[in-house]
Chains A and B, each alone.
Chain A
Amino acid sequence: MTWLTWRQFRVPAATVYAAIVAILVVLAITGTDLPGRTDYSDQEVLYGATILVLYLLPAVIGVFWGVPLVTRELETGTHNVVWNQSITRKRWLTTKMGIGALAAMAAAALLSTAVSWWAGPIDAMAVADPGSSELTRMAPVVFAARGIVPIGYAAFAFVLGVAVGILLRRTVAAMAVTLAVFAAVIIAVPFLVRPYVLPAAVDTVPITESSIHQIIGNESGVIERITVSQPAGAWMLDNETVDAAGTVVSPLPDAVQDCVPRPDRDAGPPNHQTITQCLAQLSDMGYTQRVTYQPASRFWALQWIELGFFLVLSGLLTWFCFRRIRHV
């Protein structure tokens, strides 16, 4: 069975791996002179591309490896051939899904390792220099394009493709559904799952002139909220002003609304110091800033948990595939 699986799988596998090798070459060439720099703004395009590629890889694997695994056999009628050799469907599916899932996970591991290495200096600078515009690797978008999480995504997308294929029995429809479901899952997980898998750290920080990071107002000039600078490299979940009782205050109290200069078209932007001085009064009035976040130190813990989450999901889908294949 291994031979047949390999014979059927070699072209799609070679295509994806060839693309990965090409990406590795580009990263190897450009990555060597990244360490030690302080400005990576010229790498923006490549940096964005590395993240994009790590989201595309599982999608491609799910759609072009996972879906056709069963649907192509059903559409061409070859399931009649292979399921009537002296081998059970269970063993047939075990071999095909086993080899496919391993290849998917290996591809993701390879690409993720390369990208994590390439972007290492940029990630480090993002933590060291909070004023830079770079995202840290804890940022939701970056997090799933680093470390071991992509392995889980690849396994999940592959098994999802197989499962949807078995369910719908038609390649094109199954490809579309797989893509939609995968996109929904990777969008939902950073919002609905990742923030809650570990209890977030909560800090209460005094509002001072130096700690104020952002001032956010609405169109009519009312200051809705402010944020304070976050712990280095952390993933900020909430950054709110609270009163002495711990209730969130938004918009900010009238006392500070009045002392902040309104933007004036002729006078140019208001003096930053004037604003922060004004807002720092909040501290005297008993207000503090409450920050809820996942600290940078939890990066690997969160990575392992998310990998585990996706492997469990993949396991459940695999179980479903084996249940259904008996009645296809």
Chain B
Amino acid sequence: MTVLRAEGLGKKYKRRWALAGCSIDIEAGHVTGLVGPNGAGKSTLLNLAAGMLEPTTGTIEVCGGVPGSGPDQLAKVGYVAQSTPVYTALTVEEHLRLGAHLNPGWDEKLAQRRVERIGLDPKQQAGKLSGGQRAQLALTLGIAKRPELLLLDEPVAALDPLARREFLSDLMESVAEHGVSVVLSSHLVADLERVCDHMIVLVDSQVRIIGDVEDLRATHHRLSGPRRDLDTLPSDQQVISASHTDRQTTVVVRTDGPILDPSWTVGQLTLEDLVLEYMSNPVTARPALEVLR
């Protein structure tokens, strides 16, 4: 089952395209990481999926419906916005009350249990919570409405490393417990690597790559060897990036097949390296050697 399907999705703000020609398909049951530099369109994509924005071009379908189209649709999607806003004047308890009042599918037990486990004081005003606690409260609101899809926009951006890890492991527990699909964005691959099984890399408002994390790892190779022209590579090897010294050539390629050329030394890439290669090399076409020198 598809929880999120976008076709030719684009969003234009005044003159600038924040997202363009975005076509993605996310299956249910996955934790998908949305990664890209600041301003790449991550928030725009999530906002479109939550129905906070309307697309300029193309279509987006979430859990089988148009985002934000009605109470039923809203009930299916949980959304924790960037910088995890909460009502500063309301207490933790009142936030749960808000959730209970506004969501027919509200899971009060789950909410109570989470608040207890995180160690939030129910009488505490949300404005006085730490960044990590606030993020946890926002996540609690998102999870306890029991959505099919949970969208998280840079939920850990403002947190320190410890709070970051706690938040993410806690998120993973909830995901495992309730089988909710998740799309979360971050500009740090390290955050996502721990929790995601799928990855979307957005660069310059376009989707650069999308796929299963294991597949991505298995199909990308760093090849180094004597200097050579990239045109001599087999046609099933897609060059992601290349660099040359006087004697040596290093390329990152994507291929489903094995690397048979014995002149290459084959190295594996970490997910972070892989994403960075995509981010720093926005051109997909196989570049000529001269141009890169």
Contact = CB atoms under 8 A, between A and B. Distances in A.
Interface string B58-74: 00000000001011101
Contacts of A84: 50, 52, 74, 77-79, 81, 142
A298 B117 CA distance: 69
Interface stretch (A85-93, A103-111, A193-201): A85-93
B81 A77 contact: yes
B74 A85 contact: yes
A228 B102 CA distance: 66
Contact of A81 (B75, B97, B104, B138): B138
A88 B51 CA distance: 11
Interface in B106-145: 138, 141-142, 145
Contacts of A89: 68
Interface size class of B (residues with CB under 8 A): 35 or more
Nearest to A86: B75
Contact of A86 (B50, B54, B71, B82): B71
A88 B65 CA distance: 14
A78 B89 CA distance: 11
Interface residues of A, number: 20
B79 A80 contact: yes
Contacts of A78: 85-87
A32 interface: no
Contacts of B85: 76-78, 80-81
Contacts of A8: 87, 89
A4 B99 CA distance: 10
Contacts of B27: none
Given A81-B141, A327-B54, A86 B105 contact: yes
B54 A85 contact: no
Among B52, B78, B105, max chain A CB count under 10 A is at: B52
Interface string A1-24: 101100110000000000000000
Given A3-B97, A87-B71, A81 B81 contact: yes
A83 interface: yes
B103 interface: yes
Nearest to B69: A88
A190 B58 CA distance: 52
Given A85-B74, A86-B74, A4 B52 contact: no
A-B CB proximity, top 8 nearest: A77-B85, A80-B81, A85-B102, A86-B75, A84-B79, A86-B103, A86-B74, A87-B102
13 contacts: A7-B90, A8-B89, A80-B52, A84-B52, A84-B78, A85-B102, A85-B103, A86-B74, A86-B75, A86-B145, A88-B70, A89-B68, A91-B71
